[in-house]
Amino acid sequence: MHAVVCVKQVPEQNSVKITADKQINSDGINPIINLFDEYAIEEALQWAEKNDGQVTVISLGSDDATDSLKKALAMGANEAVLINDPALEHVDSQSAAKVVAAAIKKLDNVNIVFCGKQSTDDETGQFGPALARFLGWPQLTYVFKVHELSETSIVVDRALEDTLETVEASLPVVVTAVKDLNEPRYPSLLKIRKVSKQPIPTWSLGDLGLGGSDVAGNVQVADRVPPPARPSGEMISGNVQTQVSSLVQKLVENQIL
Amino acid sequence: MDFQLTQEQQELRQTVREFAERELLPKAKEVDEKAQIPASTWKKMADTGLMGLPFAEELGGAGADAISAALAVEEIARCCGSTALSYAAHVGLGSAPIAMFGNDQQKQQFLRPAAEGRYLGAFGLTEPHAGSDAGSTRTTAVREGNEWVINGAKMWITNAAEAGHLIVTAITNKDRGKRGISAIIIPQGTPGVHFGSPEHKMGLRGSNTHAITFDNVRVPAENLLGAEGDGFVQFLKVLDGGRISIGAMAIGLGVAAMEAAVSYARERQAFGHAIGSYQSISNMLADMDTELEAARLLILRAAWLKENGKPFTREAAIAKLYASEASERACRNAVQIFGGYGYSSEYPVERYYRDTRLLTIGEGTSEILRMVISRGLLGELA
């Protein structure tokens, strides 16, 4: 079994600044592996361990993203690939999926791709489904449990808004992970040492048989502004009785009770 | 001169920091209150490779250098002092002597399980009547056939009752003074080893400390660590390394106190302004940052010397002395900045203050360290 995990490096907190040209400036904020992708890595590792398979992690990003790939290697992934090209600097989700699909086709015999259900920075949630489309594979989104995974098929539970769904699909397949799919392991300190100096192969668009026009993108960000600040809380004064009745009244008014 | 940590050191440090923030910090208050570190914590630390961080990969370790090992202790202490003390004692005192002086058999039998985190190691040096003056050891080990028979008592031994093995110093030849002291490894469960109740301590309460008595304790002759009579020289070397750990731990606690104080000084208002805007407060914060940074440089230099096989007794003594006292000032002033809240267990700074108080005492008191350092300046005086 050969599993690929798509890993995005994102800022740890959302306290990013928006620059004059509407881009996101995350300088000084610790970069981490996208939360949902950590679950994807752990799930791939667990099944690869059970099935004697191998795990390749792929990230599309700048050279800095090698930090996240090395962390995934130190967690136990076998190989890592960085896709880095100047034309990808402001790539949209759909084009990113197109590029990563090309990279997955370039790899040998991939049976399954795990992604997080969304990234915690852009939050489009489009990457996994778009990737499945470009690969022409079925997609299993919002997966919170993988029951079985063999060389040919997979059985998972999906957490939908009102329904929990158990689904079986044939491989190859794209799976997107929700939070709490598993408990991601910490990287091994021994492996951190080993991968620290290991070069990560980098593929450009050219390496994937693509050009700048393939990733031109259909989505332009017209504007970016910080969300309005939360209104400050209100202190309810008076004796306990007045406070309680006032609180209850407000809860009813706001349809919380 | 290169003040830059290597890529590997930075990555190890970041990983330990993330681990400690997620796994140790949320439990630190409870660890102190219940005077117990959960077994699951040790299991998770073992899974990451922390328990054998500086030991060779072939022996179950992670093969990290002395600088990374010091940074790891600092990061653990920043989140939980008790865990840091038991960890530092496990690595630096309970395990390192076997890595330094043990033969292959001892390394496989005792160092490997400790490095893999299957159990904690402990080191018994201090006695009821011999702390700083460890040359006055009274515990004896007498050779009978193929065994050592150990009698005596030890005091203030970190991890003792939980440890899978205990390294003890004992007199094997009373006529040779300090040259008659040897170190012997006692496996867990050996008959005749009795542990006192856990000591009720001011701080670092989650890290258990015990008195031990040895009543005709018999261990195989091959459990002698290194050569007979080498015990005194061995533990001086062990303590040199231990001082780097304790200094690193002091910095971690000091940094935790400083970070808490900075955050409080930003938020707490007095007379219409954040208290950090008053120089009485901001100067305390500036002093904390300055002293902790200086302490870290001293610790990292001592670790660098150790890693490069150069003498570091003086540098480790200076670093531990300075770091432990700087940490105590930082924690003291953090309590001061928090005012009444600082004196309450509602906030963690009182715990940092209690925790750091040990560090000018354990593994060489400030007074002994000043003696070590000044002797280097003065030489032997008449």
pLDDT tens for A44-60 read 999 999 999 999 999 99
Residues B359 and B251 in one domain: yes
In eight-state DSSP terms, residue B91 is I
Structural domain for B240, as ranges: 232-378
Given an 8 Å threshold on Cβ–Cβ distance, is A190 in contact with B63? yes
pLDDT for position A212: 86
Angle at B380 between CA B377 and CA B382, to 5 degrees: 125
Whether residue B332 sits in one domain with residue B252:
yes
User: Looking at the partner chain, which of A187, A188, A193 has a beta carbon nearest the beta carbon of B8?
Assistant: A193
Which tens digits make up the pLDDT trace of B35-94?
999 999 999 999 999 999 999 999 999 999 999 999 999 999 999 999 999 999 999 999
Is B128 inside a domain boundary?
yes
Note whether residue A237 is domain-resident. Answer: no
Domain count, chain A: 1
**Mean pLDDT across A232-238:** 83
- Give the pLDDT band of residue A69 (cuts 50, 70, 90): very high
Q: Are residues B51 and B150 in the same domain?
A: no
Is A84:A62 a contact under the CB 8 Å cutoff? yes
Yes or no, beta carbons of B48 and A187 under 8 Å apart: yes
- Given a cut of 70, whether residue A114 has pLDDT beyond it is yes
In a domain, A235, yes or no: no
Looking at residue A18, what is its pLDDT?
82
Contact A248/A256 with Cβ under 8 angstroms? no
Whether residue B180 lies inside any domain: the answer is: yes
Query: Which of B6, B7, B62 comes nearest A189 by C-beta?
Result: B62
- In this prediction, residue B304 carries a pLDDT of 98
Catalytic residue flag (residue B363): yes
| DSSP at B107 | I
Write down the catalytic residue from B74, B363, B367, B380. Answer: B363
Residue B30 binned pLDDT confidence (cut-offs 50, 70, 90): very high
Chain A / chain B CB contacts < 8 angstroms: 46
pLDDT value of position B133: 83
Mean pLDDT of chain A: 91
Quickly tell me which residue has 């999926």 as its tokens.
A97
Rounded Cα distance between A238 and B242, Å, is: 58
- With a pLDDT cut of 70, the percent of chain B lying above it is 100
A187 contacts in chain B (CB < 8 Å): 15, 48
Over range B324-351, report the average pLDDT: 97
Residue to test with chain A: of B5, B10, B12, B55, most A Cβ within 10 A: B12
Q: Are B21 and A30 in contact (CB under 8 A)?
A: no
**Domain presence at residue B2:** no
CB contact under 8 A, A196 and B15: no
Model confidence band, residue A225 (pLDDT cutoffs 50, 70, 90): confident
For A187, which of B7, B15, B44 is closest by C-beta distance? Answer: B15
The model's pLDDT over B243-277, given as tens digits with 9 standing for 90+, comes to 999 999 999 999 999 999 999 999 999 999 999 99
DSSP code at position B127 = B
pLDDT tens track for B332-345: 999 999 999 999 99
Report whether A99 contacts A208 (CB < 8 A).
Answer: yes
Summarize the confidence of residues B280-304 as an average pLDDT.
98
Are residues B320 and B373 both part of a single domain?
yes
Residue B284 sits in a domain whose CATH number is 1.20.140.10
Question: Does B160 reside within a domain?
Answer: yes
What CATH number is given to the structural domain containing B96?
A: 1.10.540.10
A193 vs B contacts (CB less than 8 Å) = 8, 12, 62-64
Lowest mean pLDDT among A225-229, B134-138, B164-168, B271-275: A225-229
- Give the sign of the dihedral formed by CA A200, CA A204, CA A209, CA A210: positive
Provide φ and ψ at A32, rounded to 5°: -135, 170
3-state secondary structure of A22: coil
Do residue B68 and residue B159 come from a single domain? Answer: no
In a domain, B225, yes or no: yes
The answer on pLDDT for A131 being more than 70 is yes
The predicted complex's ipTM stands at 0.87
- Please work out, in degrees rounded to the nearest 5, the angle formed at the alpha carbon of residue A184 by the alpha carbons of B52 and B6: 50
Instruction: Give yes or no for B303 touching A (CB within 8 A).
Output: no
Distance from the Cα of B7 to chain A's closest Cα (Å) equals 7
Question: Which of A71, A189, A193 lies closest to B48 in CB terms?
Answer: A189
Average the pLDDT over B293-304 and give the result. Answer: 98
Q: CA of A152 to nearest chain B CA: how many angstroms apart? A: 32
pLDDT at A223: 85
- Nearest residue in B to A70, CA atom: B11
| The pLDDT of residue A14 | 67
Q: Residue B368 corresponds to which amino acid? A: I
Distances (CA, A) of A100 to A59, A70, A125, A217: 8, 18, 15, 14
- At B11 the pLDDT is 92
Which residues, other chains included, contact A222 with Cβ-Cβ below 8 Å and sequence gap of 6+? none
Strands annotated E in A34-187: 54-60, 79-83, 112-116, 139-149, 153-159, 164-170, 173-177
Residues 6 or more apart from A84 whose CB is under 8 A from it? Answer: A60, A61, A62, A63, A65, A202, A203, A204
DSSP class of B163: E
Angle at B41 between CA B35 and CA B47, to 5 degrees: 160
In a domain, B183, yes or no: yes
Number of domains in chain B: 3
Q: First and final CA of chain A: distance in angstroms?
A: 51
Nearest Cα of chain A lies from the Cα of B136 at a distance, in angstroms, of: 40
Same domain, B239 and B336: yes
Task: Specify the range with the lowest mean pLDDT, choosing from A90-94, B33-37, B357-361.
Answer: A90-94
Please indicate whether, in this complex, the C-beta atoms of B15 and A193 are within 8 angstroms of each other. Answer: no
| B54 and B171 together in one domain | no
Boundary of a domain, candidates B229, B259, B288: B229
pLDDT at B131 (0 to 100): 80
Distance CA A178, CA A38 (A): 10
Residues from chain B that touch A71, judged by Cβ atoms under 8 A, are 15
The amino acid occupying position B271 is: F
| Residues of chain A contacting B15 with CB distance shorter than 8 Å | 71, 74, 186-187, 189, 192
Q: Using a CB-CB distance cutoff of 8 angstroms, which residues of chain A are in contact with residue B7?
A: 196-197
B91 touches chain A (CB under 8 A): no
List pLDDT tens digits, range B86-130: 999 999 999 999 999 999 999 999 999 999 999 999 999 999 988
Which of B229, B263, B291 is the endpoint of a domain? B229
CA distance A254 to A256: 5
CATH code for the domain in which residue A182 is found: 3.40.50.620
Question: Of the residues B172, B199, B229, which one is the last residue of a structural domain?
Answer: B229
Distance from CA of A129 to the nearest CA of B (A): 31
B154-210 confidence digits (pLDDT tens): 999 999 999 999 999 999 999 999 999 999 999 999 999 999 999 999 999 999 999
Chain A: closest CA distance from residue B72 (Å): 11
Average pLDDT over residues B342-361: 97
Residue A31 lies in a domain: yes
Q: Are residues B329 and B261 in the same domain?
A: yes
Is the residue at A248 inside a domain?
no
- pLDDT at position A237 is 83
| Interacting residues of A146 by C-beta distance below 8 A, sequence separation 6+ | A43, A47, A154, A155, A156, A175, A181
Q: Is residue B1 part of a domain?
A: no
B-chain residue closest to A74, CA distance:
B48
CA distance B42 to chain A (A): 14
Q: Do A189 and B16 touch (CB under 8 A)?
A: yes
The domain in which residue A173 lies consists of 2-215
Q: Cα separation of A66 and A58, whole Å?
A: 10
User: B115 and B214 share a domain?
Assistant: no
Collapsing DSSP to helix, strand or coil, A236 comes out as coil
- Whether B112 and B104 have beta carbons less than 8 Å apart is answered as no
Euclidean distance between CA atoms B201 and B357, whole angstroms: 11
